[in-house]
Amino acid sequence: MNVRRLVGPVRFTGPLAAVVLLVVLATGCGSSEGPATITFWSWVPGIKDEVQLYNDTHKNVTVKYVNAGQGAAEYTKLRTALKAEKGVPDVVQIEFQYIPTFTQIDALADISQYGANDVKNDYVDWTWSQVSEGDKVYAIPQDSGPMALLYRKDIFDKYDLKVPKTWDEFASEAKKLHEADPDTYMTNFAANDGGWLTGLMWQAGSRPFDVNGAKISINMNDQGAMQVANYWQGLIEDGTVSTDPDFTNDWYAGLGKGKYATWISAGWGPVFLKGVAGESKGKWRAAPLPQWKAGENVSANWGGSTSAVTAASEEPEAATEFAIWLNNNEKSVNMLTTESNLFPVQKSKLNSPDFVNARLAFAGGQKVNSVFIDASNNVDKGFEWSPFQDYVYAQLLEKVGDAAKGDTTFPEAMDKVQNSVTGYAKEQGFKVQ
């Protein structure tokens, strides 16, 4: 009996495999006949539920979801697939700052021809300008990371600090705090984090890149960047901020245990903190980013991503339709916000009372979203990324990292980054202006 049971299924695998193969072939080839199948790569937690909802409600298109790793891991796989010209997904998760990197190698389709511009006004202006170039559209925005200051109310109360409105105040409060308690720092200067550094410079008005086809102008050490560099160099030398790298276990523990009084964070920050520093529940509050000029209200963006359609997709129309649905359909957007914990870019969601008025227990019941919504409304839309952003981040990490160690200064580091990035661009065949 047992033997038969074991043998039974084995004997049937042959025909079964053949049937499966036929089905696969049928769906793969007969795009006009059966439903189209498109592949979607994303690392967003829980997004398979949104995909499921799409598949349940759409008969003509079937989306196959693949988690190909987060950020760099996914991009490496995507590049491999692009080189092999095989296995390229139809729709792919790409962060804002990597869109030019992939359009440079013609990896992304211009989806304006499939009606992407119809939804242009549904998205916050600056997010749309990040995914488009004139009338050309390379992705649909999904989420963003408008920057604001998360601070520990308990530490601020204990040392009688006031929430800094300007960077000058931030520096003086940092000094006051560190003098009162040498084991506590106002924040950590994360020299390792190119995205975070870029956010700070974005706020200060730095516009490092202007790309025009094969022509590029590079100003990594422009006035805005140097303003940030000089400012943080002062804090590093005073020792009132730590130079711990971010997103390490030690850093998570530091956030939870109160080593840092603030975290210069982004829209996705509060929920992220809840995950990595749960023990500090109720102690955090959100405030607008400190300003360079008192009375101004300028923010920047750190993080966030998009759904892009690849140029290699054989179903670009269906792929575009899915990318739009995923980031535009009311139900899907709700799921992205509440279940995947993304900070929205859709105006409708940003204006919806349930989102604006949501109270976060982790932040002592504060309506944190409203702080970040204000920030999102104050992000300048003229910021451009380089077409080789991995290299730029790697250079920031190494050169600014040397400054955090004290081997050089932050302003000098920016000059070095400028030189190496310019050299790289020339080597890669760009005409540097």
Partner 1 sequence: MSRGANSTKESVEGSGIKASRSRLRQAAVPYVFLAPFLILFVVFLILPLAYALVISVFADKLVGGTVFVGFENYAQALGDPAFWGGVRRMIYFGIFQIPIMLGLALVFALLLDSGAAWFTSVFRLGFFVPYAVPGVVATLIWGYLYGPTFGPFSQIADYLGLPAPAFLSDAWMLPSIANIVTWEFTGYNMIILYAALQAVPTEVRDAGAVDGARPWQIALYIRIPLIFPAILLTGVFSIIGTFQLFNEPSILRANAPGVITSGYTPNFYAYSLAFVNQEYNYSAAVSFALGAVVVVFSYVFMLVTNRREVSA
Q: Contact positions toward partner 1, by CB under 8 A?
A: 72, 76, 79, 104-105, 191-192, 214, 243-245, 247-250, 253-254, 257, 259, 387-388, 390-391, 394, 397-398, 401-402, 404-405, 424, 427-430
In which element (H, E) is residue 288 found? strand 284-288
Contacts of 266 (CB under 8 A, 6+ apart): 145, 146, 147, 148, 199, 301, 302, 303, 304, 343, 372
Count of CB atoms situated within 10 Å of the CB of 300? 24
- Taking the complex as a whole, the smallest distance from the CB of residue 242 to partner 1 amounts, in Å, to 9
- Taking the complex as a whole, the smallest distance from the CB of residue 181 to partner 1 amounts, in Å, to 15
* Residue with smaller CB distance to partner 1, 177 or 191: 191
* Residue with smaller CB distance to partner 1, 174 or 413: 413
- Taking the complex as a whole, the smallest distance from the CB of residue 72 to partner 1 amounts, in Å, to 8
* Residue with smaller CB distance to partner 1, 110 or 402: 402
* Residue with smaller CB distance to partner 1, 409 or 428: 428
Nearest CA to 309 out of 116, 174, 134 is that of: 116
Q: Which two tokens stand for residue 138?
A: 């390379």
- Taking the complex as a whole, the smallest distance from the CB of residue 214 to partner 1 amounts, in Å, to 5
* Residue with smaller CB distance to partner 1, 14 or 429: 429
φ, ψ for residue 343, nearest 5 deg: -85, 125
- Taking the complex as a whole, the smallest distance from the CB of residue 329 to partner 1 amounts, in Å, to 35
Q: Which two tokens stand for residue 293?
A: 């000029």
What 3-state class would DSSP assign to 94?
Answer: strand
- Taking the complex as a whole, the smallest distance from the CB of residue 3 to partner 1 amounts, in Å, to 32
- Taking the complex as a whole, the smallest distance from the CB of residue 430 to partner 1 amounts, in Å, to 5
- Taking the complex as a whole, the smallest distance from the CB of residue 44 to partner 1 amounts, in Å, to 21
* Residue with smaller CB distance to partner 1, 2 or 249: 249
* Residue with smaller CB distance to partner 1, 14 or 213: 213
DSSP-derived letter for residue 289 is: P
Q: Kindly provide the residue ranges of all beta strands, DSSP E only, lying in 153-233, ordered along the sequence.
A: 209-212, 215-218
C-beta separation of 126 from 381 below 8 A = yes
- Taking the complex as a whole, the smallest distance from the CB of residue 245 to partner 1 amounts, in Å, to 5
The residue to which tokens 């890669």 are assigned: 428
Indicate the pairing of strand 301-309 with strand 136-137. Answer: unpaired
Report the distance separating Cα 220 and Cα 392, nearest Å.
Answer: 9
Could you give the angle at the alpha carbon of 155 between the alpha carbons of 152 and 157, nearest 5°?
105
* Residue with smaller CB distance to partner 1, 128 or 388: 388
Rg for the chain, CA atoms, rounded: 24
Q: Which two tokens stand for residue 350?
A: 């940003």
The residue to which tokens 């300008």 are assigned: 129
* Residue with smaller CB distance to partner 1, 68 or 323: 68
C-beta separation of 268 from 279 below 8 A = no
